[in-house]
Amino acid sequence: MSDAHTIRNLTTLVGLRSTEVERLQGEMAAQTAVRERYQKNLERLTGLYTDSGPSGALPLALSVNCGNFKQAVMQMADQHRTDLHLHEANMAVSQRALNTAWAKREVLDQVLTQKQKYVANEQQRVDAKRQDELATQFWFRGQVK
């Protein structure tokens, strides 16, 4: 396999890995937005049942109704907390996948950079050798006269 072919293949792989990293970063951004929505909803739900006041100070029918309301909102908030914890666990898995994809891309980028430096050094060596040969030929021609 030629060096140019290897560099082209490595460049393609780095591009693919970069696309994967960008896709995973987009997913993480979306998951972060969902987490923020969960947190805001929890704040609102908590505010609903804390700001409704003491239910015992109301007449009996209203007191029962207010108590049922608070209990329902608390249960909904608990379910939201559970969903938030599950979502954060999924985010941790996605973050690990993003870190792994980023590391793979970095490794391929380093290999590509090393290969490009190697090819550039080889080209410089070939050019220097060619110049030395030309200089030697000119020197011999000068000696013959």
What confidence tens digit (pLDDT) does each residue in 106-139 have? 999 999 999 999 999 999 999 999 999 998 888 8
Write the single-letter amino acid at 65: N
* Residue range 44-63: mean pLDDT, rounded: 79
Least confident of 2-6, 10-14, 46-50, 59-63: 59-63
**Residues in contact with 56: Cβ distance below 8 Å, sequence separation at least 6, in sequence order:** 63
Helix (H), strand (E), coil (C) string for 68-119: HHHHHHHHHHHHHHHHHHHHHHHHHHHHHHHHHHHHHHHHHHHHHHHHHHHH
What confidence tier does 40 reach under pLDDT thresholds 50, 70, 90? very high
Q: pTM of the entire structure? A: 0.74
b/e string for 10-46 if b means 16 or more Cβ within 10 A? Answer: beebbeebeebbeebeeeeeebeeeeeebeeebeebe
Q: What is the pLDDT of residue 3?
A: 86
pLDDT, average across residues 78-87: 96
Residue found under tokens 């410089």: 124
Look at residue 6 and tell me whether its pLDDT is greater than 80.
Answer: yes
Q: How far, in Å, CA of 67 to CA of 59, rounded?
A: 12
Whether residue 145 is predicted with pLDDT greater than 70 in this model: the reply is no
Query: What are phi and psi for residue 86, nearest 5 degrees?
Result: -65, -40
Mean pLDDT (whole number) for 33-37: 96
Paired tokens of 57 = 């100070």
